[in-house]
Amino acid sequence: MADDVGIVIGLGSNVEPALNIPEGVRQLRRHARIAVKRVSRIYESPAVGVAGAPDFHNAAVLAVTDLEPAQLRKELRGIEARQGRQRTSDRNAPRTLDLDLVYYDDLVAEFDGWRVPAADASTAPHVVIPVAEIAPDWINPGSGLTTNTVATKLASDGSKVRPIMDVRVSTPATTTGHDGFGDGIEVYSPRVEALVREQLEEIGEDPTREGLARTPLRVAKALDFLTSGYQTTVEEVVNGAIFDSEGAEEMVTVKGVEFYSMCEHHMLPFFGQIAVAYLPRGKIIGLSKIARIAEVYARRLQVQERLTNQIADAIENSLDPYGVAVIVEAKHLCMMMRGVQKQESSMITSAMRGTFQTNARTRTEFLELVRS
């Protein structure tokens, strides 16, 4: 299986759908191993099979992932559960969120009662029409028809599916990795945006004025990016980039690693540079992975002391080296902008493990390299 494959995910809800569909998209965008590329508009359609049931809202997401189909489905079920979805044998029961794997590249397979392409990928208007908006040329491997061809036919047959809300994403071509926090979104996280509007009102501002109209949306996206470390693990960012040291046991030092984090006491930024060293014991790690490990912990609400120790522990656990050393120097806006307002102050913290803690010469060599 390729490292990254194209997928299409369908979203559905008939319980507070105007909140739950955008929140579902947000959770997909936050996932470290799902890179969202395009999001359809939200469509409304009558409930299937139950007279008088609330109308359904549906949308579709085009993404890439390195997860196998069964792993991906498990992750989708986890997102559903976090949004209060309780699956029962009643297929027509109200639900806060459905996340269905519609397509997984060109795979045709069955897995314990479910399959890809999804059974209704070429028959259900509420599935096909949103999918055709984001992936019109995707060919259903069963019928050999494009989603656009099928959607056009279903629409001409009198489909009652109609677009009602825009959560489309225009991800810039220059965006890389799994962030995708572009500015081309109309709705991102209704719950967070509502809270930001309340905050603006509390400080005496008018959230409807031109300069603030999109501020709640931007704040919601920024918070997701700045706290994206909660959704990522060290194992995911290292991604197997640990290699045989081929006999090298001399100190490996990386310094000047920039980082930005947020103080958990005031939710104001602190930022600075990190220096890391380790003594290999048969293993070395890809250079960029040290910076990525730092980001896993920096992109959370933090205190500098804990951040320093978390980075040291992560490298020690990943490599089992003879020793690890970490020094973090940072400026804290909670001290510079408020409180004592000391502009030139900075904080230095260190964490020493193994030989760096027990051998003064090794520790001194590291400190001299950092100062040079």
Q: Which residues are catalytic, by number?
A: 263-266, 304, 332, 334
Whole-Å CA distances, 288 to 29, 255, 257, 291:
23, 12, 10, 5
Helix (H) or strand (E) holding 348: strand 347-354
DSSP reduced 3-state for 258: strand
Measured distance CA(193)–CA(197) in Å, rounded? 6
33 within 8 A of 67, measured Cβ to Cβ: yes
Contact 79, 100 (CB under 8 A): no
Q: Which residues pair with 57 in a beta bridge?
A: 13, 44
- Sign of CA pseudo-dihedral 254, 256, 260, 264: positive
Phi, psi of 297 (to 5 degrees): -90, -30
Quickly tell me which residue has 């980039």 as its tokens.
241
> CA quadruple 236, 239, 245, 251: dihedral positive or negative?
negative
Distance CA 344, CA 334 (A): 13
Q: Can you tell me whether residue 277 is helix, strand or coil?
A: strand
Q: Check if the beta carbon of residue 105 is closer than 8 Å to that of residue 6.
A: yes
At residue 146, the 3 state secondary structure works out as: strand
Smallest CA-to-CA distance from 64 within 9, 136, 129, 110 is with: 9
Give the C-alpha separation, 321 to 249, whole Å. Answer: 9
